[in-house]
A and B are shown apart, each in its own frame.
Chain A
Amino acid sequence: MSTSAPPICGAQQPTTIPGSFDWPPFAAIGTAATLVGLGYKLGTTLFASSVNGPIVFTAGAAGAAAVFGLVLYYALQPDGCIRSTPKSEPICLSGIVQATQDLSSTAVAILAPFAMGPSGFFDMVVKSIYWHYVTQNSYWIYCNEIGASMLRCLIKSKTACGAKIGSLVGAALGAVAGAILGYLAGAALGAAIGCAASGPFYLLCLLLVLIVAAIVGAAVAYAGAVAGGLVGEAIASAGSDPVGDSWKGLDAGAIVTAKGNWATDPDIGNNELFYTTSINRTGQSSDGPIFTTANADATAPDDCPIAPPVIG
């Protein structure tokens, strides 16, 4: 058993979490700007004879590009789909499950499949020999109601990756259709309201036409992204998901040995398993409903291969 002092719950360090430069939004904006440039070039070629045709087409393309950029932003998140998860080291630890939470949302799965996150997580009251996994380099420590430190173990969604890739393909196809339909909608509105170049509200009237073209372009591209995401989800749902199935069977009091990639949450600063790669349920604790580190220490020896060093 560890001789170190129990971890202090909550904030650990007075400094803020050192965040690395978050480049995906800038990559998404850069991509959107490239698509707008292409749309402008195409618009000036196709509608050279029209006075406002090129800019209305570009507005439709801009709306579609915005949606493609949004989908790309989510696809570029370090969640193990296109980009790998933040690398630390694989660890193994054991304890008692305090709580599980399902993070999946039907609304997100249907309305924005590209934005799907982890399936859920469970908080584990760890044995004292694993305290350093909770405390080392962390900025925040989660504890339960009676102050037992916990490690959060995140469960990867089986379908999220398929949904993201599907959405990316769907958004690309939808963006092409969106630019065309956006142009048609804008041109129809422009013809209907007839923005007069002699009027004082000429620019405002034209801007209204551009906004409508952009909204229609974005809506069509978004529909493509959703359709592609749903197809991707359906494809990804085939096959087995041992970790997800084990996690669904967990409840408070389950004694588990978990393995996974040890990482620090970039927003809150707590250490966590991101993601959990293996869950081995070895029993059920009769203590509780709130568990202590002593309860976890009293469970049978776990099956982690190497005992971690004791921090004294």
Chain B
Amino acid sequence: MNAKICINLGLVIGGAVGVMVGLLHGLQCCTPPQPPTWGQLALDGLLVALVVVFFCVAFATWIVHLPSAPILGLSLLIGLLVGVLLGPIAYQIPYPWLALLICSLLGALIAWIVCRFLCGRSRNLKLQEGR
């Protein structure tokens, strides 16, 4: 697996979650105003991440001609983690452009860790099979 794919996916999904949830910064519902819970923001982040995953998979499959099943699985895994973890963080950042930058970098980091874990695991399995 190429780490570039993971990092690019993390950058894109993280950036989207950052800017979209970041735009909600300061908005509160109800009277008296109640700040959104961590769960609500994680759900918001997940929703944005899933929408972006759909577009990423479509582009990677139809335009870049990457195999659809592995890309779908990888994107969903990265999207799930990035959406849930970065949604609450993005809400706290006052400027959407800053939220985009910070969350895209964090998204790339999360995706890189995911790929390190997956690649290390598959390499270990191959080594065990070889013995």
- Residues of A whose CB lies within 8 Å of any CB of B are 19, 22, 25-26, 29-30, 32-34, 36-37, 40, 55, 58-59, 62, 66, 105, 107-108, 111-112, 115, 197-200, 202-204, 206-207, 210-211, 214-215, 267
Contact present for A203 and B95 (CB under 8 Å): no
Interface size on B, residues (CB 8 A): 37
Given contacts A58-B23, A202-B27, A204-B47, contact A37 B64 (CB under 8 A): no
Given contacts A62-B20, A203-B40, contact A33 B29 (CB under 8 A): no
Contact present for A111 and B63 (CB under 8 Å): yes
Cα A40 to Cα B100 with chains together (Å): 12
Contact present for B23 and A55 (CB under 8 Å): yes
B48 — which chain A residues lie within 8 A by C-beta?
A: 207, 211
Q: Which of A22, A30, A197, A204 contacts B101 (CB 8 A)?
A: A30
Cα A29 to Cα B97 with chains together (Å): 10
Sampled A-B contacts (6; CB under 8 Å): A33-B101, A36-B97, A62-B19, A115-B64, A203-B41, A211-B48
Contact present for B95 and A25 (CB under 8 Å): no
B64 — which chain A residues lie within 8 A by C-beta?
A: 115
User: What is the total of A-B residue contacts with beta carbons within 8 Å?
Assistant: 102
B23 — which chain A residues lie within 8 A by C-beta?
A: 55, 58-59, 62, 210
B40 — which chain A residues lie within 8 A by C-beta?
A: 203-204
B120 — which chain A residues lie within 8 A by C-beta?
A: none
Cα A203 to Cα B27 with chains together (Å): 7
Q: Which of B12, B51, B59 contacts A211 (CB 8 A)?
A: B51
Q: Which label, helix, strand, loop or mixed, suits the secondary structure of the A interface?
A: helix
Whether a CB of chain A sits under 8 angstroms from the CB of B113 is: no
Chain A residue with Cβ nearest B34: A200
B19 — which chain A residues lie within 8 A by C-beta?
A: 36, 58-59, 62
Chain B 10-31 near chain A by CB (<8 Å), digits 1 or 0? 0110011001110110010111
Cα A210 to Cα B99 with chains together (Å): 15
A99 CB to nearest chain B CB (Å) = 19
A114 CB to nearest chain B CB (Å) = 10
Contact present for B30 and A198 (CB under 8 Å): yes
Whether a CB of chain A sits under 8 angstroms from the CB of B70 is: no
Q: Which of B2, B8, B44, B100 contacts A32 (CB 8 A)?
A: B100
Chain B 60-100 near chain A by CB (<8 Å), digits 1 or 0? 00111100000000000000000000000000000111101
Contact present for B8 and A25 (CB under 8 Å): yes
Whether a CB of chain A sits under 8 angstroms from the CB of B114 is: no
Contact present for B101 and A207 (CB under 8 Å): no
- Which of B48, B62, B97, B104 is the most central at the interface, judged by chain A CB atoms within 10 Å of its CB? B97
Cα A112 to Cα B63 with chains together (Å): 7
- Which of A19, A62, A199 is the most central at the interface, judged by chain B CB atoms within 10 Å of its CB? A62
Chain B residue with Cβ nearest A214: B20
Q: Which of B20, B51, B97 contacts A40 (CB 8 A)?
A: B97
Whether a CB of chain A sits under 8 angstroms from the CB of B4 is: yes
Contact present for B47 and A62 (CB under 8 Å): no
Cα A294 to Cα B92 with chains together (Å): 68
* Beyond A202-B27, A203-B44, A204-B43, 17 extra complex contacts between A and B, CB < 8 Å: A25-B7, A32-B15, A33-B98, A33-B104, A40-B97, A55-B23, A62-B23, A108-B63, A111-B63, A197-B29, A199-B30, A200-B30, A203-B40, A207-B24, A210-B20, A210-B23, A267-B2
Contact present for B16 and A33 (CB under 8 Å): no
A29 — which chain B residues lie within 8 A by C-beta?
A: 11, 15, 100-101, 104
B38 CB to nearest chain A CB (Å) = 13
B28 CB to nearest chain A CB (Å) = 8
B24 — which chain A residues lie within 8 A by C-beta?
A: 55, 203, 206-207, 210
Contact present for B20 and A211 (CB under 8 Å): yes
Contact present for A115 and B20 (CB under 8 Å): no
